[in-house]
Structure 1
Amino acid sequence: MHADLLLHPSWILPVDPTDSVLIEHSLAIADGRILALLPSAEAREQIEAERELDLPGHVLIPGLVNAHTHAPMTLMRGLADDLPLMTWLNEHIWPAERRWVDPDFVLAGTRLASLEMLRGGVTCFNDMYFFPAVTAQAVAEAGQRGVIGMIVLDFPSRFAESAEEYVARGLQLHDQYRDHPLIRIAFAPHSPYAVSDEPLARVRTLADELDVPIHVHLHETHDEVVQSLEAHGERPFARFDRLGLVGPGLVAIHMTQLEDGEIARLAETGANVVHCPESNLKLASGFCPVARLLEAGVNVAIGTDGAASNNDLNLLGEMRTAALLAKGVARSASAMPAAAALRMATLNGARAFGLDGEIGSLEPGKAADVVAVDLGDSHTQPIYNPVSQLVYAAGRHQVRQVWVAGRQLIRDGQPLTLDAAAVIAEARVWAERIAAGEGRVLGRG
């Protein structure tokens, strides 16, 4: 048997089955796909590889899937902290976006986000932002996977003047990337309070025709629910259900305000939820009832949200926070065990966007999106359970090797497809420009 690459780690966590831990096994890659997983002694005898890589003390995991972010907003990291959501949005973020966001901003911000995420083991992310074609271009150039949102809003921005124009530009994006190996497209109406019924109904029709997901902020805060009751006489989820948006293609972000009937309806329809614990904690938005959702059979993934509200794109850290928070909210130490958190950050994220046949677990035939994490550091020793060490103790600096479709993007912690110094320098140029325009001095608030 011939392979392009044969990896020999100490452990492999395939993710499916959930609790599986392969010890002294090897993973073979050929033509960008996983060829085989088998005991290392057999692999060395049976597989003739162009290259072999011994990874003692490392654990192999599927590439992490960041199921919700706003990549270009890395350039707004720390711009407006310690504020409630609507104050943060209305008085700071949206005005700054109207002033600064253009294709150059999006390109620089996405490159910075890709650099950060790849170094943290994120091989695929789902994005919602302006000028999505620029985001798609940057992601493809980095060799990363992206689910790029066709953003829809009622109000004008520097990207589009009306809901109709947002939709039209989104359809152009879909046509451009219809057959791209790394880029997928989703509709991304921003939220119930930012998009009215008519464009939402249009999105539903087009999403059905194109067979693409619908990615939306939903039930993020208590105030959002109250405002919907006042404006529409129904909760946002009920409004989306009435409009026909609730189904297997719905990817509902945040969902911190849920009643039992809504959880049952999510499970009944096959809709997906993305949990963003650190953003929700920082903005005091509420607590997603993750344990109840999982118990009901709802597919729950994990996202970081944007760096302007988190303030990082660290999905390893997000897994730990999600697992700990779920236990506190459920008042049960057994809620969301480590293996469930890893599954949420990999296979569940892939499933939310219809990519679970391609990525999300380490199985023969799937794309070779693989991450090697070095557990040899003092803070991840000793190792009784590599899954627990990965989720509860490991840091993203321990990500050493990253492959997407068999192509190595991170080697020994260093990027191969992005010029880190140039990306960071460009971010600093933008920071100086924005700080001067906002009447600030960098580093002084």
Structure 2
Amino acid sequence: MSVTVIRKASWVVRWEGGKHVYGRELDVAFDNSGILHLGAAWQGIADLEVDGRNRLIMPGLVNIHCHSGDEPLAKGLFDDTGTPQLWGNALYEFSTLIDSDADAKAACQILMLSELLASGVTSCLDIAGDHPRWIGIAAESGLRVWFAPGFRQARWRLTEAKALDYDWDEAAGETARDEALSVLDRVAVDGSCRLTGVVAPSQIDTCHPDFLVRALDEARSRKLRLTVHAAQTMAEVTELYRRHGKGPVPLLQEIGVLGPDVILGHGICLDHHPLTRARTAKDLETLAATGTNIAHCPVTFARSGQGMESLGQYLRAGVNVGIGTDTIPFNMLEEMREAIIQSRCRSGDFADINTAEVFHAATVRGAQALGRSDLGRLFPGAAADVVSVDLTAPSMRPVHDPLRSLIYAGAERAVRDVWVAGRHVLDNGKPVGLDTAGALAEIDAAKARAIRVAENTKGCSFNAIAPRCLEMPA
């Protein structure tokens, strides 16, 4: 086993006494078995020595909600687009317009993993559809990847009046679930110990309650997590009230699909949110009491003028909330910055949340959601998932509090090196195991193909569907 030693790191975020703390001028030694030493000069074997001067060494970030399938294709398309009849959300009308074939899915996955690595992510939960290279690309990337092949019984459809409706096909849902479970069986035999499965019924509103119950049974029989999108939009919540007379959290509580092994995607429109018809404010208490996890992805919803009320309130209520990127940009550091800003804006209180709490959410809380107490923190015995940040980068200087500089100003521009399980996977800002240049070459052609399909579906030019932000005079 090759031992890497980072010598005399200027700043280290280490785990001590149940919290992250700063250390100065420390050695960090690790191999593929984990962190061997974090302290004064390492006296043991050093196969590779890395200069830690002018570096911040921190644990890898844990992204508990992202989608690799089509999202990079949508860059620059729908940022100014929404459906007014559905509270301005673009999800139902526009997200399904851009699809990708197998080659494009591989390129999208490579680009997502490259961007995540560049922003310091070492673990991610990828909710996507299977394709021939899905598992292979993840293995080559060096990241820890939780595979969540989605399945559902219904698909969204908008009526002529722009109301949300559903096309149900229960038989197709059963088939899709079985196919997803077969993917998880393939993941289970991976020998790297970096790949894990997650059972992923896609959305609470596209699955019948009994289907969700059976999905959780499958997850628990395999000792896996379950993730499902829930309370993500008012359109979804309104539909659940129509069907069941209750919102998403009471419904999931009634059917028993809550708990420490359940991750709810987004969890925005709870009963305390000002847009909901409920005025009971009991959902946070239920989530905290059951230990259910929330994946918070503020950037994509902020684009539609929506947001969680507020992250600080969830944490004070005792709910475990991790951070995800969801869609583009796949940049965890920008997501963390937005989480802070949105929480303060939505609450109207600058003290609603602080930098340390959001860093904790993006590391330890995300690891808790995935059931991994060895991730998201640096201490002897923890996994060797390590990020090195360049403190000489212009966006980081002058350095007083390096995490604040990184989250509020530096972001991915200052991330230089990443190790996962002791393996060097980002070298001077470049992914080691991913063909990012090849994926970029493919993505332009794939986007052109996807736009042609969307134009045929809508019967008009794409600029009529999603006009560019500036006019192009003849």
Q: Same fold per TM (> 0.5)? A: yes
Q: Which residue of 2 aligns with 1:31?
A: 32
Compare 192-201 and 264-273 and name the one that shifted more.
Answer: 192-201
The C-alpha deviation readout for 1:206-237, integer Å capped at 9, x for no partner, is 12211211111111122322221112111111
Q: 1:219 aligns with which of 216, 231, 249?
A: 231
Residue 162 (1) aligns with residue 183 (2): no
Which position in structure 2 is the counterpart of 1:295? Answer: 316
Q: Structure 1 residue 79 and structure 2 residue 100: aligned?
A: no
**What does 1:26-425 correspond to in 2, within 5 Å?**
26-39=27-40, 42-43=41-42, 46-72=43-69, 73-84=71-82, 88-97=90-99, 101-131=100-130, 134-155=133-154, 162-180=172-190, 181-258=193-270, 259=272, 260-307=281-328, 312-357=329-374, 359-425=375-441
Equivalent AA in structure 2 for residue 254 of structure 1: H
Where do 5+ consecutive residues of structure 2 fail to align?
157-169, 273-280, 456-460, 469-474
Is the 1:68–1:305 contact (alpha carbons within 8 Å) kept by the matching residues of 2?
A: yes
> Structure 1-normalised TM-score?
0.90
Other structure's SS at 1:35 match = strand
The alpha carbon displacement at 1:367 in A equals 1.8
- Name the amino acid aligned to 2:23: L
Bigger Cα displacement from structure 2, 210-219 vs 435-444: 435-444
Aligned residues: CA RMSD: 2.3
Q: Is the 8 A contact 2:415 2:429 kept in 1?
A: yes
Distance 1:336 1:184 in 2: 32
In the aligned structure 1, how far is the partner of 2:45 from the partner of 2:195? Answer: 32
Q: Which amino acid in the other structure matches residue 26 of structure 2? A: H
Residue 95 of structure 2 aligns to a residue whose secondary structure is helix
Alpha-carbon distance between aligned partners in 2 of 1:434 and 1:250, rounded to the nearest angstrom: 34
Q: If the length of structure 2 is used for normalisation, what is the TM-score? A: 0.85
Report the CA distance between 1:425 and its aligned residue: 0.7
Structure 1 range deviating more: 57-66 or 377-386: 377-386
What is the alpha-carbon distance in structure 1 between the residues aligned to residue 345 and residue 128 of structure 2? 32
Deviates more, 1:294-303 or 1:192-201: 192-201
Offset from partner CA, 1:161-220 (integer Å, 9 cap, x none): 711112111211121111431111111112122112231121122122112111111111
Q: How many residues align?
A: 430
1:32-67 deviation digits (Å, cap 9, x = unpaired)? 42111012xx22xx1230111103221111111111
- Is 1:13 equivalent to 2:13 in the alignment? yes
How far residue 435 of structure 1 moved from its aligned partner, in angstroms, is: 3.1
Structure 1: give runs of 5+ residues left out of the alignment.
Answer: none
Q: Which 4+ residue blocks in structure 1 deviate beyond 4 angstroms? A: 439-445
- Tell me if the contact between 1:187 and 1:203 (Cα under 8 Å) persists in the aligned partners: yes
- Contact 2:262–2:293, Cα closer than 8 Å, also in 1: yes
| Letter matched to residue 283 of structure 2 | E
Overall identity of the aligned pairs, in %: 29
Q: Deviations over 1:93-124 (max 9, x none)?
A: 22433xxx343232121011111111221111
